[in-house]
Structure 1
């Protein structure tokens, strides 16, 4: 045993220590309940102390709402049920699970991956999972639900630990959230706040949601490369498994690796079903059949805008994109003989999320209390003002903005909510110093991504924890955080270097987006 410990690298020893310390934290349910109580107490203390800030958006004074006041207690008492029923991530997760459960349990996803990645080297599989994870923000939050369990199965099929697959997928989706090859909803949401903030200095400022596109395309390639090297050269040895180890997961790697002729037929039919589905979506997104506009477009015809039906329904679209080929595949191979078989798999997928649903009750209480108290808003504005007062310029200022955004991200999960608060501070400030709003937006988005997988308060931390406990029942928050830390640190370093290179060479960030104001 002593000899085994000696063989462990310094990194593994450090991560093991973090894991042990983190796993001593209470169960997430207890933690969120405790945090909710702490927020109530802090709101009373800060309210009595007269804590307040001035909003940079409209110069109004924001004070702490006392949740222990008569009005506060009435609010708490009457909104517990609506907090839970209106908790947006819960609805998105459960809707996404319908499609992902059928696509997974029918065997469609694993057969698809085996068809295209069967026999591929481990690093190729890692690279593909990392790349997909980084780019899945184009599907909103659906990537958090779909990719990790698929990656776990795919890793087992090549003789690797399912836990490693889960963590690689989660790191890609969470820590690389802002990077993307294709423009999506996250770009539209971020730009909306950036443009409004920029107009405080230049009322004529107007660009497009693509102002960071070149930079983020390069980010996809860079993060995929460094993430793959990190996994293959550093993290892989933490998850060494044998064929015997895989059997405890009721998984036969040799059997899973075989794609039969019937499965190939199922994949062909599923592909046809998927193409028909895509054709229908494209028609509704392009054809002017509704008051001269596409069915899924907004009043201007755009389907990317945040208010468009397509953007609002992106999770439902992804669910159908998985459901349709999953059902076709299952019917073709004979797994689904009737509708009852189909809905049995969907129901089982819902049942697997039971712990998450229960946890969401307490998460919804905490997040609502935190929002209602205004403590999060005050924290964000105070942090932004603190950075502003330091007097940094150039790259140090940009790194400082990344750090502030990363810190605030631990306490406030919503990217748009944070940028709504921080954009009116940083965009005008940076414009007065000669910097284009595009560079301010991109460094914020970096900070908003890198601490996602480290925050116990992140909305999808309970999701990955639930997936992990399917394979290792003793998995705790410390386990997830310890294994995410190398990814967050590596991505942070890579992104900061990329920012330095872009600023030093004055490269364009995207169409209409640069480093310095012209």
Structure 2
């Protein structure tokens, strides 16, 4: 007989119940698009005082029900869907992952990994891998999150807890990383341009937040570990039965001789591929590095414009395909090339529901962006915070809160910063707060609210992953799982930033807390 539920479990259960009574996510995105259309028609005649921080033009809501906009909607519908960024990333990456899964490489690798790792340490190990996956752009969403479920299930734990822990690391700790990634120079470039409004000579190092974000990784791992093991998984065990098809899931059985030999040569194959890739990157005038002569060597590799960084998804495809094929032939799980294509086909079949959701999500996000409603909300919120004229510490906390709010409407990290930075970076510079500190506060707010917004492009994909193990999973299931992470990370990470600031520990390279 299940024990008495705590207040927190009852509250999260209520959130899940209400959330799952919402329409199917695909239909929900369609209904939200209709709401945007109607709201834009109502607000379009109104003249707003808000000014776009990047262009200096007055923000005008665009009526999406006008003849011209409806014609554009029809004309662009296919391109909006095809160009929906997560769609191609997910499908291409999963082609390689599908082969590795079909041949048994992933199954064998996880069984060997579980043989080396204590079940008690699976959670922090998974969150650490999720955090490091930020180096490979959005790879964590399509690789680490589903593998988190597989690893937990194989270890006798709840697979949805594995999804929650991995999602918390990949998205909730989006800015936290020991290793620099493409997001660092991208945000620093926006910060620099915003600050040059006051100081034309301002330079923001791309690694200006590196030390703080590396230290934040420890916070994210610790918070995620405790919440997963003490709050999230116990509730899932009580309330969320695993009722999906588990026939192809890995077990803890030892590897056979054929499987062990296949795994060995598969690892050799992927190691050789990585060595060749490293050599290609290190070669003089490598086409995989950013050709900008003004960049340092490490910056030419990790810059947003480096071909290597823009090739992460194809590399994921290749680096799963190679060991998958090698394992299949050596272990005898495949006979010919038809089995390889079969693995890719099965992977695409499992994505049918996601493709449908992606279609409606892409149309809604495009309409919301074209209406200017998101920009209007962000700018008005920023102006409200500015008008409060709070002390420096409270202003930093306010920026984190504002960013979390804006993140519910504008999913892209760079798009939000393009809206917020031109307002707050110069404003806080006048208060003596450095652009680097303002950027750090933004990154905390952006990360902690990612896991709650259905407008995150990968949110529907994570719902699909949940449905594999719990047929009744929906938006409510995922939000109720992730709410404890979002709240705890928002509070603890904010406090950590304030303590870090008080102690004067360097934020990163060439970064300070004060301006000038």
Q: Please indicate, yes or no, whether the TM-score normalized by the shorter chain is above 0.5.
A: yes
Deviations 1:60-114 (A, max 9, x none): 2221112122221221121111111111111111111112222233322332233
Alpha-carbon distance in 2 for matches of 1:343, 1:251: 18
Contact conserved, 1:271 with 1:325, CA < 8 A, in 2? yes
Contact conserved, 1:123 with 1:228, CA < 8 A, in 2? no
Alignment of structure 1 residues 341-490 onto 2, 5 Å: 341-490=339-488
Alpha-carbon distance in 2 for matches of 1:458, 1:412: 8
Alpha-carbon distance in 2 for matches of 1:181, 1:482: 29
Match of 1:170 in 2: 167
Alpha-carbon distance in 2 for matches of 1:383, 1:174: 24
Distance 1:423 1:231, change over 3 A: same
Tell me by how many angstroms 1:16 deviates: 0.5
Asked if residue 22 in structure 1 is aligned to residue 19 in structure 2, the reply is: yes
Asked if residue 298 in structure 1 is aligned to residue 296 in structure 2, the reply is: no
Match of 1:234 in 2: 231
Post-superposition, which runs of at least 4 consecutive aligned residues in structure 1 deviate over 6 A? 244-248
SS in 1 for 2:408: helix
* Match for residue 202 of structure 2 among 202, 205, 222: 205
Distance 1:102 1:251, change over 3 A: closer
Distance 1:420 1:248, change over 3 A: closer
Tell me by how many angstroms 1:424 deviates: 0.7
Match of 2:310 in 1: 312
Match of 1:279 in 2: 275
SS in 1 for 2:50: strand
Alpha-carbon distance in 2 for matches of 1:142, 1:252: 22
Asked if residue 11 in structure 1 is aligned to residue 8 in structure 2, the reply is: yes
Alpha-carbon distance in 2 for matches of 1:85, 1:235: 36
Q: How many residues align?
A: 509
* Match for residue 103 of structure 2 among 84, 102, 106: 106
Distance 1:362 1:414, change over 3 A: same
SS in 1 for 2:512: coil
Deviations 1:10-51 (A, max 9, x none): 211111011111111111111110111111111111111223
Q: Can you give the 5+ residue segments of structure 2 that lack an aligned partner in the other structure?
A: 294-299
Asked if residue 510 in structure 1 is aligned to residue 502 in structure 2, the reply is: no
SS in 1 for 2:301: coil
Distance 1:42 1:299, change over 3 A: same
Tell me by how many angstroms 1:477 deviates: 0.8
Distance 1:356 1:155, change over 3 A: same
Deviations 1:422-462 (A, max 9, x none): 11111111111111111111111111111111112221111
Tell me by how many angstroms 1:248 deviates: 6.2
Match of 2:255 in 1: 259
Tell me by how many angstroms 1:159 deviates: 0.8
Alpha-carbon distance in 2 for matches of 1:305, 1:148: 25
TM-score (norm 1): 0.94
Contact conserved, 2:269 with 2:323, CA < 8 A, in 1? yes
Alpha-carbon distance in 2 for matches of 1:59, 1:508: 34
Tell me by how many angstroms 1:364 deviates: 1.0
Distance 1:130 1:163, change over 3 A: same
Alpha-carbon distance in 2 for matches of 1:175, 1:396: 23
Alpha-carbon distance in 2 for matches of 1:245, 1:357: 24
Alpha-carbon distance in 2 for matches of 1:357, 1:252: 24
Alpha-carbon distance in 2 for matches of 1:440, 1:249: 47
Match of 1:49 in 2: 46
TM-score (norm 2): 0.94
Match of 2:296 in 1: none
Match of 2:85 in 1: 88
Contact conserved, 2:466 with 2:473, CA < 8 A, in 1? yes
Match of 1:335 in 2: 333
SS in 1 for 2:347: helix
Match of 2:297 in 1: none
Q: Can you give the 5+ residue segments of structure 1 that lack an aligned partner in the other structure?
A: none
Alpha-carbon distance in 2 for matches of 1:192, 1:421: 14
Asked if residue 268 in structure 1 is aligned to residue 264 in structure 2, the reply is: yes
Tell me by how many angstroms 1:234 deviates: 2.1
Contact conserved, 2:141 with 2:167, CA < 8 A, in 1? yes
Alpha-carbon distance in 1 for matches of 2:228, 2:455: 25
Contact conserved, 1:104 with 1:150, CA < 8 A, in 2? no
Alpha-carbon distance in 1 for matches of 2:80, 2:237: 43
Tell me by how many angstroms 1:319 deviates: 2.2
Q: What RMSD in Å do the two structures reach over aligned CA positions?
A: 2.0
Alpha-carbon distance in 2 for matches of 1:513, 1:440: 11
Alpha-carbon distance in 1 for matches of 2:511, 2:263: 42
